[in-house]
Structure formats: structure tokens, C-alpha cells
Amino acid sequence: MPGDLRAAVEALRRLAEESATAVTVMEVCGTHTVSAFRSGLRSVLPKSMRLISGPGCPVCVTDQGEIEAALSLLRRGVVVVAYGDMFKVPSASGSLASMRGEGHDVRTATSAMDALRVAEENPGREVVFLGVGFETTAPATATLVREARRKGIANLSVLSFHKRTPPAVEALAGAADVQISAFLLPGHVSVITGHEPFRFLADRFGLPAVIAGFDPEQILLAMVEIARQIRAGAPELRSVYGTAVRPEGNRKALGLLDEVFSVRDARWRGIGLIPDSGYGLRGDYGDFDAERRFSLVIVPGTPPAGCRCGDVLTGRITPPQCPLFRTACTPLSPVGPCMVSSEGTCGAYFRFHREERT
């Protein structure tokens, strides 16, 4: 272990001993979850400090009803273009992958702009891009919509299930049955949003909140900062992500989001309907809104039987506490989205975590 990391681990241990308080830190982003596992960082944390995962995996938080809506479009002969992570997410009536196996037209996107190409190549077909993800991927969808308008593409629309991170974090910070001492906040989201949308954590909830990148060094630095704040009894919002996160965020991306999307309520797996936590297309861009074009009514879905993904996403349980973990539910045969996604907590526990089974 490099000397500066060893020094950080030592500092963390010292701070943890001095405060003598059990600390539960929610890492909001799935990439933090995977990085902390893969690097072995969890094993060097003081015993009094615990990392739990939050609702930061875009595939995982997409509600069952939203998946069903996408599948219903396929049954109507629409071409659906989606990021690869979405393909194996199961729902009551199948998945994008199983629908493709049945001959429906589902295309994999590596970027939102792939949907524009598919629409241009298939002028006689309706093409829908499945917009999922947080503030990080929503600007790419906004660019797609703007470009489709500029080019006069009439057969493309977007099913926007994009979500906003701060309202979900707020819902968890205020949840009486989830004990969270501090938040490890996602650097990439904060690059877009800036600091301010997360300041409420310290100001209103009295919780330390630290923005960090995804390297284990960054996570470790954030944990030291959290431990320091807890010991000092002085919670605040800090960033250890350096100059990448500006307090005001990325004005260009925020402007784009504001132009194309309006904020609306959104349904999150495991949390339910959260006010102002989603992005829908603005009225100005209503022609590109797949919900409107196809008169879709999205109803809350029922999670797969026995799957406790919602409890995992909200830190109420860890994956080994789900009875299906490693038995009925594995990456090859996933029951819920938390096992499907590369950023899913259950998938991360399956790959990296051996000893904890309770």
C-alpha cells in the first residue's frame, strides 16, 4: 500500500477510535460500491465504520412499471434502443433480452446518439430511446432530442425515466427506519449539479456529506473527512474531488437539461414516488415524448417475488440478507435488477464478498 494511503488508513483508524461512535456511511453511487469492493477498501475500514449502498444504480432504481412500459412498445412493433445494462432487467412479462429472443426489435446503445442513427436508417418505423440514468446521462438524452429536432427526425421519441439524485438522497436522509450517519456523494453527478443541491444534508439533517470520485484513494479520503466531521461534531458538505466539481456545477449541461426537460415526480424502486425526482420532456419538446406519442399509462409495477432489491437500494438490508442471494438469484440467473447491473449491489456482493452471509 503506498505511503499516503497507509497514512490515510491510519488517520481513519485514529479518528474512529477517538470518536468511538458506530458510523454507517451510505455510498450513493453503484460505482463507489464496486470500487470499494474491488480495491479491498472495505477491509481496511475501522470496525466501527460501515459502508452501505444506496439508490445510485440507474438500472436498479428503474421501476418495474417503467420496464413494462418499454416492453409494451415492443409489442406494438416499435424499435426500442436501450443501454446494454437494461437488457436483462426482469419484469413480470419478460425483459428486453427475452423480447429480443422472441423476435422483437431491441437495439443496444452505447450512446444516446445511436438512437438517432437507428431512426435515420429506419424512416418507416417508430424508434424509441429508453432514457435511464441520473444527471450524468440525462444531458446526452437532451442532446439527442435537440439533434432530432434540428434534423427534422419525425420517427424518434424518448421514454424518459431519468432521475434526479438529490431528492432520493433527501428521502433516505429523512427515513426513520434507515440509520445513516453520513453520505458519500457521487463525484460525476456533482460535476453536473454542483455542490448546492446536496447542502441540505448538513444544514437540515446534520449529516456529514462528502463528494468523491471513484478511485479508492478518493473514497478513503472521503471516509477520513467524514470521520473527522463526526469526531468534531461539525457536519458539513465537502468535496475531495478537487477542481472537477465546481460549486455551480456544469452550466452548459444544466442549461441543456433545463431546455429539454422539466422536473417531475418519479417512481423509484424501493422508495416509491418521490416528488421532483425525475426528468420528463418539456412541453416544447412534447413531439419527442414517447409517453405522449403512444398514450402510455405507466403504472407502478410489482417486484419479482421474493426479491428485496428495494430494501438493498435503501440500505435496509445487505444482499446476503436476501434469502434468494446466491441461491435462486445469481448473475447468470438474476431475479432482480440489483443482481443484473454491473453497478448493482447484489452483483457486487456476489463477485467480491465472500464472508458476510447474514
The count of residues interacting with ligand SF4 (CB under 6 A) is 14
Cα–Cα dist 344/317, whole Å: 14
Could you tell me where the beta strands, DSSP code E, fall in the chain?
23-27, 49-53, 79-83, 106-109, 127-131, 156-160, 182-186, 209-212, 237-239, 261-268, 272-281
CB of 324 to ligand SF4, least distance (A): 4
Taking the complex as a whole, the smallest distance from the CB of residue 343 to ligand SF4 amounts, in Å, to 13
Residue 216 or 270: the one with the smaller Cβ distance to ligand SF4 is 270
Nearer Cβ to ligand SF4 (23/339): 339
Which of 324, 341, 343, 348: binder of ligand SF4 (CB under 6 A)? 324
Select the residue whose beta carbon is closest to ligand SF4 and give its number: 336
By CB under 6 A, tell whether 308 contacts ligand SF4.
yes
Query: Contacting ligand SF4 (CB under 6 A), which of 45, 180, 335, 348?
Result: 335
Amino acid identity at 178: V
Of the two residues 262 and 330, which places its CB atom closer to ligand SF4 in the complex? 330
Cα–Cα distance between 270 and 47 in angstroms, integer? 28
Q: Is 269 in the site for ligand SF4 (CB under 6 A)?
A: no
From 110, 111, 128, select the one nearest 119 (Cα to Cα): 128
Q: For the chain, how far is it from start to end, CA to CA, in angstroms?
A: 30
Q: How far is CA 98 from CA 92, 104, 292, 333, in A?
A: 12, 9, 26, 13
271 touches ligand SF4 by CB under 6 A: no
Q: Which is nearer to ligand SF4, 155 or 318 (CB)?
A: 318
For residue 130, state whether it binds ligand SF4 (rule: CB under 6 A): no
88 near ligand SF4, judged by CB under 6 A: no
265-280 per-residue burial string, b: 16 or more CB within 10 A, e: under 16? ebbbbbbeebeebbbb
Q: Is 336 one of the binding residues for ligand SF4 (CB under 6 A)?
A: yes
Query: Between 224 and 338, whose beta carbon lies closer to ligand SF4?
Result: 338
Nearest-approach distance from CB 306 to ligand SF4, in angstroms: 6
Q: Count of CB atoms within 10 A of residue 258's CB?
A: 12
Binding site for ligand SF4 (CB under 6 A): 307-309, 312, 319, 322, 324-325, 329, 335-336, 338-339, 346
